[in-house]
């Protein structure tokens, strides 16, 4: 941006062309940088969600002291999205002390006469509860493939972090089961 701001010099047309080309190159650089930025928002977003507990899909193995001073109410829920499966929690309502290891089951039945693959995604209400809901084992860690008519009980083993704020008295955990049969066939 220097050429004509110089109070003592008038730039020649060639000089202007030259500096224009330089500016053009600099500005054009912004475009790929912002494109890369846009796509980097995808992992960034996932990271932020993980940090905020919106999506908690990791397995955590260690445990700490059980906090017997309070009980947290847990509601389990299932949403079955466009999948000819029966998918329900066996244990709908559980009360647990933070720190105590609990196992609950979901039951799934393939109602079709085809081999079908599904994948469950967890979601918490309130969303920050995901931060403190530590899964030791969960069927949502992997794809589930069921033979025609097969019924399976799928466990979730977890404990609630005793560090969870006392304000959170009730947690709802909902799994949405998606049919990914077509997607897995393609890959």
119 scored as a contact of another protein (CB under 8 A)? yes
Q: How many residues bind another protein (CB under 8 A)?
A: 76
> In the set 63, 123, 145, 157, which binds another protein (CB under 8 A)?
123
From CA 24, how far away is CA 39, in angstroms rounded?
Answer: 24
- Name residues contacting another protein, limited to 33-62 (CB under 8 A): 34-35, 37-39, 41-42, 45, 49, 52, 55
Q: Please select the residue that binds another protein; options are 88, 137, 143, 157, rule is CB under 8 A.
A: 88
Q: What is the 3-state secondary structure (H, E, C) of 121-166?
A: EEEEECHHHHHCEEEEEEHHHCCEEECCCCEEEEEEEEEECCCCCC
**Tally of CA atoms within 13 A in the half-sphere of 187 that contains its CB:** 5
> Kindly report the CA angle at 154 between 153 and 159, in degrees rounded to 5?
130
For another protein, which residue of 56, 67, 74, 80 counts as binding (CB under 8 A)? Answer: 80
Specify the stretch interacting with another protein by CB under 8 A; choose among 4-12, 60-68, 96-104, 154-162. 4-12
């Amino acid at each position: 941006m220097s050429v004509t701001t110089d109070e003592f010099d008038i730039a020649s047309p060639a000089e202007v062309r030259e500096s224009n080309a330089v500016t053009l190159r600099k500005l054009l650089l912004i475009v790929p940088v912002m494109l890369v930025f846009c796509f980097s928002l995808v992992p960034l977003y996932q990271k932020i969600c993980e940090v905020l507990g919106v999506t908690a899909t990791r397995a955590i193995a260690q445990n700490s002291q059980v906090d017997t001073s309070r009980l947290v109410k847990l509601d389990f829920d299932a949403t079955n999205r466009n999948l000819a499966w029966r998918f329900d929690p066996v244990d709908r309502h559980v009360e647990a002390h933070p720190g105590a290891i609990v196992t609950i089951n979901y039951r799934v039945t393939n109602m079709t006469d085809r081999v079908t693959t599904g994948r469950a995604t967890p979601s918490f209400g309130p969303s920050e509860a995901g931060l403190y809901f530590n899964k030791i084992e969960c069927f949502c860690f992997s794809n589930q493939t069921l033979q025609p008519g097969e019924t399976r009980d799928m466990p979730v083993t977890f404990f609630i972090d005793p560090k969870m704020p006392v304000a959170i008295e009730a947690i709802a955990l909902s799994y949405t089961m998606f049919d990914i049969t077509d997607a897995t066939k393609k890959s």
